[in-house]
Amino acid sequence: MAKINVITLPSFLRRTMKAYTLKAHIRQQGCDLHRIGRSRHWQLKANFEQLQAIIAFIEQSDEPSWLWLTALLKSQYRHLSQNELLKIASMLAEVTVSALMAKTDCTIAQARQIIDKLEGLE
């Protein structure tokens, strides 16, 4: 079973233009997006693949007010398991230590271990 990440989105509607479009796409991915009580903060529950799809959608769109969400979601990469890092590395066209570190914000040691696994050295 995929690990579910719970991410708080502070002032989601105030920071995001065209929020209805973004919310609709997030919900299309099967994520749970809801407001926390009566506050202005929202909560997103999504697995790794769903986070990847949301980030890809935001990066392909031309809405600059959504970029803060991409940065916030990418910060969740620090908590990725070896298997999840391996999935990301296998999706990259050119796998290098620096490319993997830039994509996932992992450490240099983690990137080297993943590349060794992909090349069959480990």
The ranges assigned to domains in the chain are 5-78, 80-119
Q: Phi/psi of residue 5, each to 5°?
A: -95, 135
CA dist list (Å): 95 to 20, 90, 99, 105, 112: 36, 8, 6, 14, 10
C-alpha triplet 11, 37, 18: angle, nearest 5°: 35
Along the 122 residues of the chain, how does pLDDT read in single tens digits?
567 878 899 988 889 899 899 999 999 999 999 999 888 999 999 888 888 889 989 999 988 999 999 888 887 766 677 887 888 888 777 888 888 887 777 788 888 888 888 887 66
Residues in the chain: 122
Distance CA 36, CA 6 (A): 12
How confident is the model at residue 51, as a pLDDT?
Answer: 87
Q: To which residue do tokens 């973004």 refer?
A: 22
The whole-angstrom separation of Cα 5 and Cα 50 is 10
